[in-house]
Structure 1
Amino acid sequence: MPNRLRWGALTWVLTLQFFVVEAVAQARYAGPYSRVDDVISALGASDSPARQLMNASFVVQAALILGGALLLRPALRGSASRAVPVLLGVAALGVLLVGVFPTDGNGTLHAIGAVLYLVGGGLGLVTLAYAVRPRSEALGTTVVLLGMVAVATTIFVLTGVTGFLGEGGTERAAAYPLPLALALTGGTLWWLARRGDAAPDGSVLRRERAREQARRSEEARARDAALEAAAGRGATASRTGHTAPAGTRARGTGPEDAEPGDVDPEDPWAPAPQGR
């Protein structure tokens, strides 16, 4: 299990390769290229000197997304963990189609692939956030925020609302959150597992809960023992010191029990001596 977690985390961290390849492809682009106005797919078109490198990066990205989802599946929690590989698998299929079918090759399959990547990636991140939140609330919050950005900007891309960020800028706002969130998730899960706070099999959490239950049980036993001891002392005191023997009268309980020698003649409130 530790090896599986390690390889899964590394796989998702390597999705950052996309940014490196994109920067190289842009640097080698023959004409002017703007990240705000030009879409990512233009770097994989036939007029891009680095088209083979860019399209290969798309294909590798598909394998990294799906491979990490399958390897890290046992590290996820809750019912959302079952949907994560499905949605991320849709995103992986989409980016695979983008790489295999460039925009100036088979434009229809390329467009379908782009939509699958953006939709599957955004929804996949929202689902992933719920699956990692039991391990780290900070990680879950960060991932869900990235997912919400991806979902919102995907809607803008699909509806053509690109005037504010530009066509390329809006597309990047929808596409970039997925590799960023996956790399963050993979690295954080690995780090938490090494600390022992979030082992994939949950053994550390189970031991912590067992210790807490044992501590509470011990406190309850000590409290019950103290109450039983207090009740026993009270019963013993009642039998030995506070109950007069049967058939006798306790002395000093009334004026008639005062002995003559016990009366203070100087005390005006003292009872009068009784005759024998």
Structure 2
Amino acid sequence: MTRLRWGAALWTLCLLTFPAQVIAAAQWPNPYSWSSNFISDLGVTACRTFDAGTRVERYICSPGHLLANGSTVANGALMAVGAVLLWSAWPRQRTGKTAMSFVAAGGVLVMLVGFLAWDVYPEAHDAVALAQALMQWIGMAFLVFALKGSTAARWASALTLASVTLSIAGFVLFIDAISGGPSISLGLGITERLAFDTLTVWGAVLGVILLMTTLGHRSTSSNQEAILGSAPTTSPGA
């Protein structure tokens, strides 16, 4: 299997974080609420009431926190390594490499989110999670411009644009919900997952598209492999 196929496969494997979360949630003595609890609640290491006296006060006890946090670390590693392997996979290679730099950085930050349990390092956890989203949004925006040529590239570009738009919209709703705005009726957990889980699903679906696309095209500008159609011949520096 080629380096590019390995990269696409690693991105597809990011979906494994979801069954890991389901298993961790199933171990809660009190039911985990997918609509009301935060994603990070699954990785909390202590059993007690958090955010007492606030609109998000909740009791958390997650015996499967090691699995939840470990799956987050693995998710970030798969995304980061996959981005490195897919470094030259895009029709517009210079823009694609910039995109992969940001996506890889986002993957490393996802790993840090898993290492920094929210109840132990709350400020660092939240700051790194926000930085991760920003890195991935920027990378996805660059990737939209790096994709052109074949039908598969256009589908991948549309997927990326739709996903980054949905993720940012979800984040806005999430902030509104935390602040007690109208979006709270949607559920804190749902709005947070729109913001962050959309990024994981995007990477996995794009990985599937890449695996289904004919590989082995050569870039006329750098003589490297490219997926989703040959690199443009008129503007090597695009």
1:24-63 aligned at under 5 Å gives the runs 24-46=23-45, 47-63=61-77
Q: How far is the alpha carbon of 1:38 from its aligned partner?
A: 0.6
After TM superposition, the score normalised by the length of structure 2 is 0.77
SS of structure 1 residue aligned to 2:28? coil
Which amino acid in the other structure matches residue 72 of structure 1?
L
- Paired residue for 1:144? 161
User: Residues 195-206 of structure 1: matches in 2 within 5 Å?
Assistant: 201=225
**Superposition pairs of residues 1-276 of structure 1, within 5 angstroms:** 3-46=2-45, 47-78=61-92, 79-135=94-150, 136-158=153-175, 160=178, 162-194=183-215, 201=225
Cα gap change, 1:66/1:55 in structure 2, threshold over 3 Å: closer, same or farther?
same
Give the superposition deviation at 1:198: 8.5
CA distance in 2, matches of 1:204, 1:60: 27
- What is the rounded CA distance, in whole Å, between the counterparts of 2:63 and 2:115 in structure 1? 17
> CA shift at 1:22, angstroms?
0.9
**Structure 1 letter corresponding to 2:68:** M
Contact 1:189/1:198 (<8 A) preserved = no
Q: RMSD of the TM alignment (CA)? A: 2.5
Amino acid at match of 2:91: R
Amino-acid identity (%)? 27
CA drift of 1:106 comes to 1.0
* Structure 1: gaps of 5 or more residues: 210-276
Structure with the higher helix share, 1 or 2: 1
Higher radius of gyration, 1 or 2: 1
Q: Is the contact between residue 12 and residue 64 of structure 1 (CA under 8 Å) also seen in structure 2?
A: yes
Shift of the 178–203 alpha-carbon distance from structure 1 to 2, 3 Å rule, reads closer
Q: TM-score, normalised by structure 1?
A: 0.67
Residue 55 of structure 2 corresponds to none
Contact 1:94 1:112 in 2 (8 A): no
Q: Is the 8 A contact 1:93 1:116 kept in 2?
A: no
1:167 counterpart letter in structure 2: L
SS at match of 1:193: coil
- How big is the shift at 1:204? 11
Contact 1:55–1:100 (Cα < 8 Å) also in 2: yes
SS in 1 for 2:214: helix
* Structure 2 residue ranges without an equivalent (≥5): 46-60, 234-238
Distance change in 2, residues 1:202/1:37 (3 Å): closer
The structure where strand makes up a greater share of residues is 2
Question: CA 1:80–1:156 in structure 2 vs 1: closer, same or farther (change >3 Å)?
Answer: farther
Taking a change above 3 Å as real, the CA distance of residues 133 and 27 of structure 1, as seen in their structure-2 partners, is farther
Equivalent-residue separation in structure 1 for 2:228 and 2:17 (angstroms): 35
Output the CA distance in 2 between the equivalents of 1:60 and 1:30.
Answer: 26
Cα deviation, 1:161-180, whole Å, max 9, x if unaligned, reads: 54242211111001111121
Contact 2:10 2:82 in 1 (8 A): yes
Deviation by residue 1:173-218 (Cα, 9 ceiling, x = unmatched): 0111112111121221222125x77886359967xx9xxxxxxxxx
Distance change >3 Å, CA 204–CA 175, structure 1 → 2: closer
Between the aligned partners of 2:229 and 2:109, the Cα distance in structure 1 is 37
